[in-house]
Structure 1
Amino acid sequence: MLVEEAFRATTTKRTTTPRFLQQCIFNLFQNANSIRETSQIHTQIIINNFTQKNFMIVKLLQSYVSAGHLHKARQTFTQIKNPSITSWNQIIRGFAETDTPREAVCLFDKMLKTGELPDEYSFSYVISACARGKLLRLGEKIHGKVLAYGFCSNLFVQTNLVNLYVASREDDNVGLKNARKVFDEMHERNVVTWNTLLGGYVKCRDIEGARRVFDEMPERNVVSWTSMVSGYAHNDMCKEALSLLHEMLQARIDLDQVILIAGLSACAEIGDLKMGRWIHSYIDRNWHINNQKRTVRLNNALLHMYAGCGVIYDAYELFKRMPLKSTISWTTMISGFAKQGRGEDALNIFQWMEGTKDDSSKPDAITMLVVLYACSHSGMVEQGRHIFKYMNKIWGIEPKIEHYGCMVDLLSRAGLLDEACKLVEAMPMEPNDAIWGALLGGCRIHKNVNLAFQIGQKLGNLNLDDDKAAAYLVLLSNVYAGAKRWKDVADLREKMVELALRKTPGRSWVQIGESVHEFSAGDWSHEHESLIYEMLVLVTIEARLIGYQPDVYKLM
């Protein structure tokens, strides 16, 4: 009994006065590293009749709360005859950080009814609870009390109010507008306040607004840079993300794991292998210096980068060396092989995954999706049928509409359109546009005009956004063009003009030296566009000279 022995050893050395006993017990908290030791200290507090000593009870509450033992904290708190504001704050803070933050609000209201006046910590904790639980209406009432009790100029309280409005509304920009209003009314702000607002703009996907806030910041820390880089990376602005990463390096700011993962994700999306390799070397260099081991999450990001950049050999070598693998690790490796058209290798990885005993490496719904994708893009019909049939029985994964979509795509690509149609009819859910689109793709490959016409009618009955509607009309037009039904092609083109629909141009990237160049169909904005199109004409002429026949029906 470590605490009891330490207590006896201390108190037997000299005459014990109540003040001395209090100090001895209080000092024991410094070395208490477990709930058992904290409970033993609690016992000494009870034995020595110190249960109403405020400074000691506050420390006890703090220990229980920090250890996550709120039931112990609650029992201790209820035994206090006249809780101080510090005691109230500790118990409110404890519940504010749990999955039941509403309880913190109830405790705050109960405190007010006792006549206890809240301080800046009370307001900060209860507002934090409202933000955590997305309790906007309760948070607005607390905001009113902030004004009534005169804390409208308190930096910490106001920062928590900004966070409340940022966190409570995700469906529109109302919360962000309210957060901005509170922010603009603040007379004093710190870097945490700025980061909170910046995070709000990123969360609402207002990246331009986020960049304006970022540029206005009088002081930035690694959180500021990470929020902005992650915002770019998660909103398909990967070149901007990597450009900002370069700025960080020039400013000699250390890169943490979060920003490195965002940077690797951006590299994967645009194929910037050179930057991806540099980040890999940065990680190895700095993690070695600090004697750190790479986390599974960081290894997964590196794996995704190499697979995304198409260097599947490097991805596989990294994968084999990973000491710990998660479901995401296996799924990323399977997906990497699948996108390279190496279906057999993808299935080999899946079989390897099945043989592991680790619970953290069990296949999930996304794993099954990429396995079916691998079968579809490698023409492995029998393997796909088997996996789809036994998904639930063997792996306990109920097929979702995405899995049905992959299976319809697999059958359609293989020319088994009748079987694909029967599968659609047997689906336990209503088919969506992706299902019909997969079937329509098979009609184009195998020139089944009649079925394509029926699918076109099905798609016409769905409420599709303009980009999807344009893509499916183009695909249907290609089916008609392949059958030389030019009147139907003309009718579809006319319909697209009437509806002002235009297919989103395809995009691609290529890395030359230090730069990643982006291209899109029909784009004339590149600084070397004349040379690019001149080379394209030369390549086209040379291809025709060696006998290449382009599929002009796909070029609408």
Structure 2
Amino acid sequence: MLASGKMLPDEYSYSFVISACAWGKLIQFGEKFHGRVLVGGFCSNLFVQTNLVNLYAVDGVKNAHKVFDEMLDRNVVTWNTLVAGYVKFGDIDGARKVFDEMPERNIVSWTVLVSGYASNGECKEALGLLREMLWARMELNQVTLVAGLSACAEIGDLKMGRWIHSYLFKRMPLKSTVSWTTMISGFAKQGRGKDALSVFQWMENTQDDGSKPDAITMLVVLYACSHSGFVEQGRSIFKNMNKVWGIEPKVEHYGCMVDLLSRAGLLDEAHKLVESMPMEPNDAIWGALLGGCRIYKNVNLASQIAQKLGNLNLDDDKAAAYFVLLSNVYAGAKRWKDVADMREKMVELALKKPPGRSWVQIGESVHEFLAGDWSHKHGSLIHEMLLLVTVEARLTGYKPDVYQAAQAYVDP
């Protein structure tokens, strides 16, 4: 069109071509067209500028925000584009700031931020925003509900999860692979393996090409089998992944199977599966097998795994976790010298085990706790109550290790 010289592009031409550059992640081409937009005097056009924000948001938020700030007129689509850009690059605080400044919001605005919170592990914030949506009388869509359900599964907000479950399946005429998978994941993370497998079987029996199980579905189903001890079901599902659904198992699927077999005490079978893998086992694979060694006190296999883990380049948190796990294996076998060697090794490498974390739901609120953390506003009262429980345990003749563990938590 430019080469012919017979017709000059207008704002619509540039709007579409810049949108194409954004979709194709062709930033350099987009910058050239941006220059032509400036020369042609189309920089005040709302659609052109919105697509420029979308273009620059592909590569980062700084230039996108610069174009946004230069705009004299903005609509909700422009604002949503900027929020999505911040979410894409993991700057949830930046996304929330833009969201709070929006003069008008639609379902996309809310959904982008809820999904952003959930995918970045800020599950309490995701559910808080979901409740704000309900108070604002916003109609929830499938993406929002799936993100909310994932957040419920992650922190154990069973009450909200049940409400979303009811809302999701009553009002969703077409259930996608994502919605089915999220439901299965929610049940699996709550330890409700039978329910997870029931939903999976329901999904399998649904005659809908748009909701066939995918690799992630298989992963959460195997996870459910692993944490519920369903060995035979896990074997069958793993075997049928490729045979029935044409899904080639990845290292994560092997990891779930190794975890399942290890938890069930089938360490030889688990080890053989690791040796037969078509890819190199990663630390998660060896860690799952090591966990089985701790439960069933298989010191010889644990020592072999330790050598395998030693050849991997692990970050400090993972290395510390595996050292502690191996130390526990040795302690279970009363090999105290090996325990001392592991602890000394951790000191030499300046490794610290990441603190344990748990959540407790009371009414509408979910409270998060870290081991040894006193930051909770009711921390003093909680520890006073724990001390009373400890004393009562002693008076009623509970086993020493029970109240000693509680006392160690109260006064480490």
Match of 1:113 in 2: 4
Match of 1:217 in 2: 102
What is the Cα deviation at residue 127 of structure 1?
A: 0.5
CA contact (8 A) 1:447 1:482 kept: yes
Partners of 1:475 and 1:446 lie apart in 2 by 13
Computed over aligned residues only, the root mean square deviation of the Cα atoms, in angstroms, reads 3.3
> Structure 1 541/443 Cα, relative in aligned 2: closer, same or farther at 3 Å?
farther
Match of 1:226 in 2: 111
Bigger mean CA deviation after superposition, 351-360 or 210-219: 351-360
CA contact (8 A) 1:222 1:253 kept: no
| SS state at 1:517 partner | strand
2:380 to 530, 543, 549: 530
CA contact (8 A) 1:153 1:186 kept: yes
1:127 to 8, 18, 35: 18
Partners of 1:276 and 1:335 lie apart in 2 by 12
> Structure 1 519/493 Cα, relative in aligned 2: closer, same or farther at 3 Å?
same
Partners of 1:192 and 1:395 lie apart in 2 by 39
Q: Is residue 160 of structure 2 the alignment partner of residue 294 of structure 1?
A: no
Structure 1 residue ranges without an equivalent (≥5)? 1-109, 170-174, 288-292, 297-323
Match of 2:152 in 1: 267
After superposition, give the CA deviation of every residue in 1:311-342 in whole Å (9 maximum; x if it has no partner): xxxxxxxxxxxxx6555566556555655656
Partners of 1:422 and 1:528 lie apart in 2 by 50
> Structure 1 114/255 Cα, relative in aligned 2: closer, same or farther at 3 Å?
same
Partners of 2:352 and 2:315 lie apart in 1 by 12
Partners of 2:289 and 2:196 lie apart in 1 by 24
Partners of 1:204 and 1:212 lie apart in 2 by 15
Match of 1:402 in 2: 252
After superposition, give the CA deviation of every residue in 1:408-437 in whole Å (9 maximum; x if it has no partner): 222222333233222211111111111101
Match of 2:138 in 1: 254
Instruction: Map residues 132-151 of structure 1 onto 2, 5 A cutoff.
Output: 132-151=23-42
CA contact (8 A) 2:146 2:182 kept: no
User: Greater relative contact order: 1 or 2 (C-alpha under 8 angstroms, separation 6 or more)?
Assistant: 2
What is the Cα deviation at residue 133 of structure 1?
A: 1.4
Match of 1:102 in 2: none
Letter paired with 1:295: M
When the two structures are superposed, what TM-score results if normalisation uses the length of structure 1?
0.64
What is the Cα deviation at residue 505 of structure 1?
A: 2.4
Match of 1:204 in 2: 89
1:469 to 310, 319, 332: 319
Partners of 2:144 and 2:201 lie apart in 1 by 33
Match of 1:439 in 2: 289
What is the Cα deviation at residue 220 of structure 1?
A: 3.8
> Structure 1 497/265 Cα, relative in aligned 2: closer, same or farther at 3 Å?
same
Q: Is residue 310 of structure 2 the alignment partner of residue 460 of structure 1?
A: yes
Match of 2:45 in 1: 154
Letter paired with 1:136: I
CA contact (8 A) 2:184 2:220 kept: yes
Partners of 1:207 and 1:432 lie apart in 2 by 31
Q: Is residue 312 of structure 2 the alignment partner of residue 428 of structure 1?
A: no
| SS state at 2:171 partner | coil
CA contact (8 A) 2:96 2:113 kept: yes
Match of 2:371 in 1: 521
Q: Is residue 112 of structure 2 the alignment partner of residue 235 of structure 1?
A: no
Decide which structure has the larger Cα Rg and report it: 1
1:411 to 241, 261, 264: 261
- Percent identity of equivalent pairs: 78
After superposition, give the CA deviation of every residue in 1:41-83 in whole Å (9 maximum; x if it has no partner): xxxxxxxxxxxxxxxxxxxxxxxxxxxxxxxxxxxxxxxxxxx
